[in-house]
Amino acid sequence: MSFVKGLKCRECGREYPVKLLAGCEECFGPLECDYHYEEIAKVLKREVLASRAKSIWKYRELLPLESDPKIGHATGGTPLIRAERLGRHLGIDNLYLKNDAVNAPTLSFKDRVTAVAINKALEFKLEAVGCASTGNLANSTAANAAAAGLPAFILIPQDLEKSKVMGTQIYGARVIAVNGNYDAVNRLCSQIVDRYPWGFVNVNLRPFYAEGSKTIGYEVAEQLGWHAPDAIVVPMAGGAMISKIHKGFKELQRIGLLSESEPTRLYGAQAAGCNPIIDAVKRGSREIRPVKPNTIAKSLAIGNPADGYFAARLIPESGGWGEDCTDPEIVAGIRLLAETEGVFTETAGGVCIAVAQKLIQQGRIKKTDITVLTITGNGLKTLEALDLATPQVIEPKLSAFEAVFGGASNVA
């Protein structure tokens, strides 16, 4: 049932059969899956998609599995919310939120990528899986490995939020905290997969793993009634997701499900304390200068982003731009989204909101643009980032309540 042609190097174009491979053997460039699009176009029609259940597997012809998926049946199909109240606050008319804070099973967009990678690990009959993670990927890899019956080795930087550590251990995964930042963790994982017959989802399973992010693009287009948005704001860590959402839109055009006359401007969002891709975009360069992360947005704290070069190239090519924001702006973004739309996002979502606000103020995103903000994770995972006042304690008496509340005229 697979429509996969093989793997292709994004740098030099060299082609490979489907196999476990972290990068191009010729130039070390990243690999991605290539498909028989003409064949897919014959079978994947709008009516077919409309008849299928909501999940990432709805678009299975465009995903790199050879067999039916064994896990991840509840993943994807997250809401696209029309955000009128937030839109009014930001001063734009057509604002939407792609809400992966309620993705399944672990409340972040990473469930999309691990669902693909761990099904692939089952197909390759690997003995164990693992990942280098800033948190959300750890949760998701551990949960999906448990569902697949595979042992999991999860390597994380030692300063991760407690909720993300526990939300990984609970699935029975072996969690190893490394004394170093994400980039050090990632290097160690590359050495591990060289030695052991395991699949690390974002290392040697990466070409398959990354394909899962395309489903955000497919879903947004279908949820907008088969239209691509004018603008999409995407938080960036390694920089893969923004290129994959773009690939998703392009593939839909290629198989005739989207009009080619509807290009989407891509807008990248990073925290000021870890902004190597935004820095490159603003310098008009593709060359990434690695940074040492220092931000509360730990899920975006990748100082040397693997796909940074491609993101820095694609963003200006699409007519988009990038911005960064400070830690206080991130917290303000989280609160604004929660208070206007009832959506509680983690720090990466706060980055997305704060950056969108700047891009609108700069006039880069226009009032009438159909704009999608990508909310990638759930706020319950990063409570440490917030410092809200302790609720006032009163005696259980109506008079005490009224003394605090101050009467009905104060309800607004």
Site residues (CB under 5 A) for Zn ion?
9, 11-12, 14, 24, 26-27, 29
What is the distance between the alpha carbons of residues 145 and 139, in angstroms, rounded to a whole number? 10
- Closest distance between Zn ion and the C-beta of residue 197, in Å? 24
Phi, then psi, of 91 in degrees rounded to 5: 90, 25
Nearer to Zn ion, 25 or 402 (CB): 25
Q: Who's near 268: CB < 8 A, 6+ residues apart? A: 233, 234, 235, 236, 239, 242, 277, 278, 281, 311, 315, 320, 321, 322, 323
Nearer to Zn ion, 247 or 298 (CB): 247
- Closest distance between Zn ion and the C-beta of residue 25, in Å? 8
Q: Are the C-beta atoms of 277 and 288 separated by less than 8 Å?
A: yes
**Residue 15: helix, strand or coil by DSSP?**
strand
Transcribe 250-293 into DSSP letters: HHHHHTTSS-TT---EEEEEEETTB-HHHHHHHHT---------
- How many other CB atoms sit within 10 Å of the CB of residue 121? 29
Q: Are the C-beta atoms of 81 and 97 separated by less than 8 Å?
A: yes
- Closest distance between Zn ion and the C-beta of residue 353, in Å? 37
- Closest distance between Zn ion and the C-beta of residue 162, in Å? 41
Nearer to Zn ion, 34 or 384 (CB): 34
Q: Are the C-beta atoms of 377 and 349 separated by less than 8 Å?
A: yes
Nearer to Zn ion, 24 or 315 (CB): 24
Nearer to Zn ion, 24 or 148 (CB): 24
**Bridge pairing between strands 231-235 and 199-200:** unpaired
- Closest distance between Zn ion and the C-beta of residue 317, in Å? 20
DSSP label at 65? -
Nearer to Zn ion, 11 or 369 (CB): 11
- Closest distance between Zn ion and the C-beta of residue 220, in Å? 30
What is the distance between the alpha carbons of residues 351 and 121, in angstroms, rounded to a whole number? 32
Nearer to Zn ion, 14 or 364 (CB): 14
- Closest distance between Zn ion and the C-beta of residue 307, in Å? 15
- Closest distance between Zn ion and the C-beta of residue 243, in Å? 16
Phi, then psi, of 232 in degrees rounded to 5: -135, 135
> What six digits make up the tokens of 122?
């089952």
Q: Are the C-beta atoms of 241 and 299 separated by less than 8 Å?
A: no
Nearer to Zn ion, 7 or 315 (CB): 7
Nearer to Zn ion, 9 or 146 (CB): 9
- How many other CB atoms sit within 10 Å of the CB of residue 368? 9
Please give the span between the terminal C-alpha atoms of the chain, in angstroms, as a whole number: 57
- Closest distance between Zn ion and the C-beta of residue 16, in Å? 9
Transcribe 171-227 into DSSP letters: TT-EEEEESS-HHHHHHHHHHHHHHSS-EETTTTTHHHHGGGGHHHHHHHHHHTTS-
Nearer to Zn ion, 22 or 365 (CB): 22
- Closest distance between Zn ion and the C-beta of residue 14, in Å? 5
